Amino acid sequence: MSLTQAIHSGVMAMPLQFGGDLIELAILFLVLAVIAAVAGASGVAGLSMSIAKWLVIIFVVLAVVTFVL
């Protein structure tokens, strides 16, 4: 049994773990949006910002759920 596992009433439970890939992807899309905006590609910049925004929102929601449970 690892440190992240807990036994409650004979049932082994593991906390939700979703990795840090979401925040890394959000930062990547944010950088892409800034570069695209500087280059004058407003469509790509807007889409990249939207993707980055949603990745951050999903990351925060999953982080809160993980900390609460």
Give the three-state DSSP class for 42.
Answer: helix
pTM of the model: 0.65
**pLDDT at 7 > cutoff 60:** no
Q: What is the DSSP string of 5-64?
A: -EEETTEEE------SHHHHHHHHHHHHHHHHHHHT-HHHHHHHHHHHHHHHHHHHHHHH
State the average pLDDT over residues 12-21.
61
In this predicted structure, the answer to whether residue 61 has a pLDDT above a threshold of 80 is yes
Judged against a pLDDT cut of 60, whether residue 2 lies above it is answered with: no
Quickly state the pLDDT bin for 38 (edges 50, 70, 90): very high
